């Protein structure tokens, strides 16, 4: 059995160089887009991040494992705020404690434990579950056919009744997340033993069980985030077992932009439709799916695409301009918007007027290191500019 290997990689940047065995390389490349591997001098390998964060344990064929720590470019508090918009109904995270402020996994585990404690202080949720068993007394309804098969044996009695139990899907998912969080590296001892004892009588969840009760909604969204790293599914393939936790930051950023910008534009009488399928060509064979199409009075007026790309200036790559130009042309609109990430004070939005075309594409940069109020203020200003640029005539 080969020894375990720990790799620490930043989400973006030049990466780090490691000595890797053939089995370790195979384990890393078996999960496409997890990291970027390039050969380095001396038979070593350069491992670079690929816009994902978390901690994943990948088993190797020789019996060992790779402990892959993918560290975020953003501060933990800022990342948790973006994550709060990762579901349809945004939740607002508490400030993380000083002990967990520097590492994502302990911060999430601590947040899960504190949210679970507040949720369970209102009482563990119970539900009714139908139970069929044999008892020495009558409870509920007698199962007549089963009882008749017991010829000459009056006891026990075959009965069916509704049991008021904590063993319901909401508690099963919460218990699974608490148990997983308790075994993640770097989670404080206090969190490791926190709260699971409150869920006595609850079994682990089965795949596909329904969610959730409204009172449990926030804690179950956190539980879902932590449980999502149990396996990694490549495009069209089977899941690869991977204990830990993984976030795809482009998806987190895109979801944050869609939700917050949609809310801000609604105050201008503009509705936003995310991931709507449109057709690029007259034969309707080439489909495209913009992040947001903006409508006023049922007519498309603008299109938005969010890019989790950190630009030094708001000068987008040419291929991004090509993409938005195609969107605007196919939708019959004259203005599109590209929204990028930044970790410092951004430059003003820049307009790119396309030659020999009526289309203008505006590039924006959001400073993700701003506190929540400041980041939402940036979104509001972006919505104001977008609404002002959008045409109001009905022609």
Name which residue leads in pLDDT, 99 or 189: 189
Q: Which residues contact 202 (CB under 8 A, 6 or more apart)?
A: 166, 167, 168, 171, 172, 175
What is the greatest pairwise CA distance in the chain?
A: 94
Q: Which of 51, 49, 42 is nearest to 68 (CA)?
A: 49
Please tell me the predicted confidence (pLDDT) of residue 395.
40
Encode burial over 231-252: b for 16+ CB neighbours within 10 A, e otherwise. Answer: ebeeeeeeebebbbbbbbbbeb
> Measured at the alpha carbon of residue 272, what is the angle toward residues 271 and 277, in degrees to the nearest 5?
130
What is the pTM (predicted TM-score) of this model?
A: 0.75
Per mean pLDDT, which range of 5-14, 45-54, 146-155, 371-380 is the poorest?
Answer: 146-155
Model confidence over 183-228: pLDDT tens digits?
666 665 545 455 566 677 777 666 555 555 556 666 776 676 666 6
Mean pLDDT of the chain: 79
Which domains occur in the chain, in start order?
1-71 (2.60.40), 127-165 (no CATH), 251-389 (3.90.1570.30)
Sign of CA dihedral 261, 266, 268, 274: positive
Distance CA 291, CA 169 (A): 33
Is a pLDDT exceeding 50 seen at residue 394? no
Please tell me the predicted confidence (pLDDT) of residue 388.
85
128: number of Cβ within 10 Å: 11
Q: Which of 56, 82, 46 is nearest to 232 (CA)?
A: 56
Q: Provide the pLDDT confidence category of residue 364 given band limits of 50, 70 and 90.
A: very high
Please tell me the predicted confidence (pLDDT) of residue 353.
95
Is a pLDDT exceeding 80 seen at residue 105? no
Q: Which residues contact 196 (CB under 8 A, 6 or more apart)?
A: 175, 178, 179, 182
């Amino acid at each position: 059995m080969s020894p375990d290997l720990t790799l620490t990689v930043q989400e973006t940047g030049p990466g780090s160089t490691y000595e890797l065995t053939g089995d370790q390389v195979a384990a890393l490349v078996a999960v496409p887009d997890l990291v970027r591997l390039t050969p380095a001098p001396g038979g070593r390998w350069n491992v670079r991040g690929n816009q994902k964060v978390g901690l994943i344990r990948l088993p190797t064929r020789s019996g060992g494992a790779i402990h892959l720590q993918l560290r975020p470019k953003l501060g933990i508090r800022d990342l948790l705020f973006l994550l709060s918009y990762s579901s349809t109904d945004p939740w607002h995270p508490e400030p993380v404690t000083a002990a967990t402020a520097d590492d994502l996994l302990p911060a999430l585990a601590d947040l899960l434990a504190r949210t679970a404690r507040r949720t369970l202080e209102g009482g563990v949720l119970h539900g009714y579950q139908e139970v069929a068993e044999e008892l020495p007394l009558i409870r509920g309804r007698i199962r007549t056919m089963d009882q008749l098969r017991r010829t000459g044996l009056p006891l026990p009695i075959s009965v069916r009744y509704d049991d008021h139990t904590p063993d319901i899907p909401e508690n099963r998912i919460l218990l699974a997340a608490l148990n997983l969080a308790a075994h993640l590296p770097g989670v404080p001892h206090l969190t490791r033993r926190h709260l699971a004892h409150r869920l006595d009588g609850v079994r682990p969840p089965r795949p596909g069980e329904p969610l959730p009760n409204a009172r449990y909604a926030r804690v179950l969204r956190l539980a879902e985030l932590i449980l999502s790293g149990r396996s990694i599914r490549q495009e069209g393939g089977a899941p690869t077992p991977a204990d830990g936790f993984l976030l795809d930051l482009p998806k987190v950023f895109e979801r944050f932009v869609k939700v917050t910008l949609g809310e801000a534009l609604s105050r201008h009488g503009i509705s936003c439709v995310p991931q709507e399928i449109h057709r690029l060509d007259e034969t309707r064979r080439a489909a495209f799916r913009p992040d947001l199409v903006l409508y006023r009075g049922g007519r498309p007026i603008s299109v938005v695409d969010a890019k989790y790309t950190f630009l030094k200036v708001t000068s987008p790559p040419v291929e991004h301009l090509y993409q938005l130009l195609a969107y605007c042309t196919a939708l019959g609109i004259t203005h599109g918007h590209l929204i990028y990430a930044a970790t410092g004070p951004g430059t003003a939005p820049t307009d790119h007027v396309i030659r020999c075309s009526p289309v203008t594409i505006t590039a924006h940069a959001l400073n993700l290191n701003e506190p929540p109020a400041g980041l939402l203020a940036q979104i509001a200003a972006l919505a104001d500019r977008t609404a002002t640029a959008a045409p109001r005539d009905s022609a």
